[in-house]
Amino acid sequence: MSSFFTIEWQDGAVVMLDQRLLPTQEVYRTYRDYRGVARAIKDMVIRGAPAIGVAAALGIALGARQLKRIDNPAEFERLCQVFAATRPTAVNLFWAIKRMGGVYARTRALGREAICEHLEREALQIHAEDIAANRRLGRYGATLIAKGATVLTHCNAGALATAGYGTALGVIRAAWEQGKKVSVFVPETRPFLQGARLTAWELSKLGIPATLITDSMVGHFMQKGAIDCVVVGTDRTAANGDVANKIGTYTTAVLAARHQVPFYVAAPTSSIDLHCASGALIPIEERAAREVTHVLRQQIAPTGIRVANPAFDVTPHELVSAIVTERGIARDPFGQSLSELVRKGGKAKKEKGEKERT
Amino acid sequence: MSSFFTIEWQDGAVVMLDQRLLPTQEVYRTYRDYRGVARAIKDMVIRGAPAIGVAAALGIALGARQLKRIDNPAEFERLCQVFAATRPTAVNLFWAIKRMGGVYARTRALGREAICEHLEREALQIHAEDIAANRRLGRYGATLIAKGATVLTHCNAGALATAGYGTALGVIRAAWEQGKKVSVFVPETRPFLQGARLTAWELSKLGIPATLITDSMVGHFMQKGAIDCVVVGTDRTAANGDVANKIGTYTTAVLAARHQVPFYVAAPTSSIDLHCASGALIPIEERAAREVTHVLRQQIAPTGIRVANPAFDVTPHELVSAIVTERGIARDPFGQSLSELVRKGGKAKKEKGEKERT
């Protein structure tokens, strides 16, 4: 087991590891007021789309107890709005809020205590489901990882980006837990340094051998034959298998293709957007210049220099060897394999729902 | 003319702009002891292969005056060894040391004052030749740059990397001076940030439009069609056209090839090593882990993490569109074209030498 956690519900409070202070300080923050949780999401105490969804769900469960008139839907709606406004691009945020809203609608007539209990139970369920899905995804992904393999990842798609196990790092972790003795190359992932600050720290905590490099070294180590495969996460995957992920992922995929290194994407089905036909339709968020001109608080570029800072890039599906989900592994042609996996889950849920109703 | 200088000989001392403090501070350091010059090369007060060669030559000229028994070849040899040990990948270093050694051998019998004067004159000659060669190289290279082109470079192969005009930036600068209205994409070049700290600063000083990006963004902007060509410098180019340059250059070359973006190398003939058959034989300097775990003085990675920090990579000649020298442009097959250009210079020098002797 790992010696840290990302987010937990403890004695009626939300507790989070403050990721802004990693890797030099490990500080857990306890929130007894939902406004604190919302601010923590906004200020990136916690980040990563699945983790943000879990934090919002727990925050709503916490906030419900603070409401004066919980049976008033307008009050509950205002509570949800506070969370919807935190990181408006994270799709899991809205998905989690919608699930909490559904529970509220079904239990509103049952009285304060019952509403609060059901909301709390749903938030904990979202938390547990995320970890369970990550573990299933990890087991599928581990079948692709050879014994003793050196795996390169990018950014942080680990326990810190989810409720607690990780997607890309979940694959690596599952392989490690199976005794495969893998090791990992970790590009630092400028500008926000999620690789250096979070992934390197997480792997250290797990005892998995990791080598930190700069993003500019990926080609060199592929050329040297030091990398056996690449596993990355994704912020959104289009219906055709085009993958939007942290800036730098596309460069890594091009290098992997040149060197015949398999390039795998760990994509929970919640991140697969069948309504999005191709990567060209995925909007790329442009972030503040200061992330590039500064490293943390330190200025590294001349004052006033022009900067470009796209947060993501799109890797075309022809560079992707396989997409690993919690329901199985999709391969080319992705248009077919991805929609089958996503529909499979829908069908499973529907069947489960029907059984529950009988 | 530019409003700064890289290295100069002033009143019997070596004066350098401390490049470690750029872009936030412009500090010139004066060295009156050769050991200070050697340490400045090692500590990267000055960097860039041609600049290192010039610094070593001036340092030897300075050190000669400090020797107790200058007519003792062993003492002079020890002086040269101090410089040879500073940065082993830079071929210009050895080339400059060899030139100074040649002058010493020819003048050793002439007595202390004559030896010192000849060494000083040779070092200043190397300085002046470097700037003149850069200007010629720039004019050749500018013929490859279209009007209005967006050029991507890597690291700093500018005035700061040479005695004063630049190789890759010399090409861009020559195109700019010809009124071609070019603009430049500048990857920051981790770990040492020569792009963000030096190239962005130098281009700002020259008034050439520049956009700073992280190294991880190069692929994205090539994919978007934003880059018309790449021009980089080189620390050493092998006889077959394989190019050793700052880590990240190989990645850029792979991306350029995928996107049919011409990839040009600005290589003064002093950086072409005909005795080195291929890039596989070029030693790659491994630098301190701290450059990766820290940005300037700030820690960005967990304490104790394993780090790889190769300072250079090798771009195979098949990814190189053309190599620009101060004697013309070499194209595939480079084995032939490079040796012709290098021999052309040798012949010209020999003829010049013969004329002078008559």
pLDDT digits (tens, 9 = 90+) for B193-218: 999 999 999 999 999 999 999 999 99
Same domain? For A328 and A188 the reply is yes
Same domain? For A73 and A154 the reply is no
Taking the C-alpha atoms of residue A60 and residue A119, their distance in angstroms, rounded to an integer, is 8
Check residue B304 and give left, alpha or beta (phi > 0: left; psi -120 to 50: alpha). Answer: left
For residue B202, give the chain A residue with the closest CA: A302
B298-299 and B294-295 strand pairing:
antiparallel
Cβ pair A300:B191 closer than 8 A: no
Cβ pair B296:A292 closer than 8 A: no
Q: Which of B133, B155, B174 is the last residue of a domain?
A: B133
Cβ pair B298:A296 closer than 8 A: yes
Tokens of B216: 């991880």
Domains in chain B, number: 2
CA B300 to chain centre: 29
Print the domain residue range for A118. 7-133
Cβ pair A221:B24 closer than 8 A: no
- The answer to whether residues A231 and A151 touch, using CB atoms and an 8 Å cutoff, is yes
**Within-domain flag for B351:** no
Same domain? For A122 and A178 the reply is no
**Within-domain flag for A2:** no
A351 vs B273, residue with greater confidence: B273
Nearest to A308 among B190, B191, B217 (CB): B217
Beta strand spans in chain B (E)? 7-10, 13-17, 28-31, 150-152, 183-187, 210-213, 229-232, 236-238, 243-246, 263-266, 272-273, 294-295, 298-299, 306-307, 312-315, 322-325, 328-330
Cβ pair B254:A255 closer than 8 A: yes
Cβ pair B307:A251 closer than 8 A: no
Cα separation values, B346 from A37, B11, B103, Å: 72, 33, 17
Specify the pLDDT at position B37. 98
Same domain? For A141 and A128 the reply is no
Specify the pLDDT at position B358. 37
With b for 16 or more beta-carbon neighbours within 10 A and e for fewer, the B244-283 pattern comes to bbbbbbbbbbbbbbbeebbbbbbbbbbbbbeebeebeebe
Same domain? For A196 and A333 the reply is yes
CB neighbourhood size of B28 (10 A): 13
Q: How confident is the model at residue B91 (pLDDT cuts 50, 70, 90)?
A: confident
Please give the model's pTM, rounded to 2 decimal places.
Answer: 0.91
**Within-domain flag for A350:** no
SS3 content of chain A, % helix, strand, coil (to 5): 50, 20, 35
Same domain? For B47 and B184 the reply is no
B28-31 and B210-213 strand pairing:
unpaired
Cβ pair B251:A218 closer than 8 A: yes
Q: Which of A61, A98, A310 is nearest to B222 (CA)?
A: A310
Beta strand spans in chain A (E)? 7-10, 13-17, 28-31, 150-152, 183-187, 210-213, 229-232, 236-238, 243-246, 263-266, 272-273, 294-295, 298-299, 306-307, 312-315, 322-325, 328-330
Which three-class secondary structure state does DSSP give residue B194?
helix
- Answer whether residue B162 shows pLDDT above 80: yes
Q: How confident is the model at residue B49 (pLDDT cuts 50, 70, 90)?
A: confident
> Which residues of chain A neighbour B299 with C-beta distances below 8 Å?
23-24
For the question of residue B332 being annotated catalytic, the response is no
At A20, give phi and psi (nearest 5°): -70, -25
Omega into B23 within 30° of 0, i.e. cis?
A: yes
> Which residues of chain B neighbour A247 with C-beta distances below 8 Å?
214, 216-217, 220
Q: How confident is the model at residue A356 (pLDDT cuts 50, 70, 90)?
A: very low
Tens digits of per-residue pLDDT, A104-134?
A: 999 999 999 999 999 999 999 999 999 999 9
Q: Which residue has the tokens 């077959």?
A: B240
* Annotated active-site residue in B130, B235, B242, B273: B235
CA A193 to chain centre: 16
Which of B190, B216, B220, B312 is the best residue to mutate to test the A interface, defined by the most A CB atoms within 10 Å of its own CB?
A: B216
> Which residues of chain A neighbour B307 with C-beta distances below 8 Å?
211-213
Rg (alpha carbons) of chain A, rounded to whole number: 20
> Which residues of chain B neighbour A3 with C-beta distances below 8 Å?
none
For residue A25, give the chain B residue with the closest CA: B302
Specify the pLDDT at position A147. 98
Cβ pair A248:B219 closer than 8 A: yes
Same domain? For B128 and B144 the reply is no
**Within-domain flag for A352:** no
Nearest to B247 among A212, A220, A300 (CB): A220
Looking at residue A195, the DSSP 8-state letter turns out to be I
- Answer whether residue A285 shows pLDDT above 90: no
Q: Which of A133, A165, A195 is the last residue of a domain?
A: A133
Work out the burial of residue A22: count CB atoms within 10 Å of its CB; fewer than 13 is exposed, 13-18 middle, 19 or more buried. Answer: buried
- The answer to whether residues A176 and A142 touch, using CB atoms and an 8 Å cutoff, is no
- Answer whether residue A353 shows pLDDT above 60: no
**Within-domain flag for B96:** yes
Mean pLDDT of chain A: 94
B243-246 and B236-238 strand pairing:
antiparallel
CB neighbourhood size of B120 (10 A): 20
Q: How far is A16 from chain B (nearest CA, A)?
A: 19
**Within-domain flag for A356:** no
Same domain? For A148 and A250 the reply is yes
> Which residues of chain A neighbour B156 with C-beta distances below 8 Å?
none
Which of B89, B152, B203, B214 is the best residue to mutate to test the A interface, defined by the most A CB atoms within 10 Å of its own CB?
A: B214
Q: Which of A82, A98, A133 is the last residue of a domain?
A: A133
Tens digits of per-residue pLDDT, A145-183?
A: 999 999 999 999 999 999 999 999 999 999 999 999 999
Specify the pLDDT at position B270. 86
- The answer to whether residues B323 and B338 touch, using CB atoms and an 8 Å cutoff, is yes
Same domain? For B191 and B94 the reply is no
Tens digits of per-residue pLDDT, B295-353?
A: 988 999 999 999 999 999 999 999 999 999 999 999 999 999 999 999 887 665 555 54
Q: How confident is the model at residue A357 (pLDDT cuts 50, 70, 90)?
A: very low
CA A183 to chain centre: 21
Tell me the CATH number at B284: 3.40.50.10470
Mean pLDDT of chain B: 94
Cβ pair B200:A301 closer than 8 A: yes
Q: How far is A98 from chain B (nearest CA, A)?
A: 34
Q: How confident is the model at residue A87 (pLDDT cuts 50, 70, 90)?
A: confident
> Which residues of chain B neighbour A24 with C-beta distances below 8 Å?
299, 302-303
- Answer whether residue A92 shows pLDDT above 90: no
Tell me the CATH number at B101: 1.20.120.420
Tokens of A110: 């049952």
Stretch B269-283: mean pLDDT = 93
For residue B291, give the chain A residue with the closest CA: A214
B236-238 and B229-232 strand pairing:
unpaired
Stretch A188-204: mean pLDDT = 97
CB neighbourhood size of B182 (10 A): 24
Cβ pair A310:B220 closer than 8 A: yes
SS3 content of chain B, % helix, strand, coil (to 5): 50, 20, 35
Cβ pair A292:B255 closer than 8 A: no
Q: How confident is the model at residue A344 (pLDDT cuts 50, 70, 90)?
A: confident
- Answer whether residue A59 shows pLDDT above 50: yes
- Answer whether residue B85 shows pLDDT above 80: yes
Q: How far is A2 from chain B (nearest CA, A)?
A: 16
**Within-domain flag for A20:** yes
Residue pairs spanning A and B at CB distance below 8 A: 184
> Which residues of chain B neighbour A25 with C-beta distances below 8 Å?
none
Least confident of A105-119, B149-163, B233-247, B335-349: B335-349
Same domain? For B222 and B299 the reply is yes
Beta bridge partners of A16: A7, A29
Taking the C-alpha atoms of residue B233 and residue B249, their distance in angstroms, rounded to an integer, is 9
Q: Which of B329, B310, B311 is nearest to B321 (CA)?
A: B329
Taking the C-alpha atoms of residue B61 and residue B13, their distance in angstroms, rounded to an integer, is 10
Same domain? For B153 and B37 the reply is no
Stretch B92-105: mean pLDDT = 95
Work out the burial of residue A260: count CB atoms within 10 Å of its CB; fewer than 13 is exposed, 13-18 middle, 19 or more buried. Answer: exposed
Same domain? For A52 and A197 the reply is no
Which of A19, A263, A295, A300 is the best residue to mutate to test the B interface, defined by the most B CB atoms within 10 Å of its own CB?
A: A300
Q: How far is B78 from chain A (nearest CA, A)?
A: 35
**Within-domain flag for A357:** no
Q: How far is A32 from chain B (nearest CA, A)?
A: 30
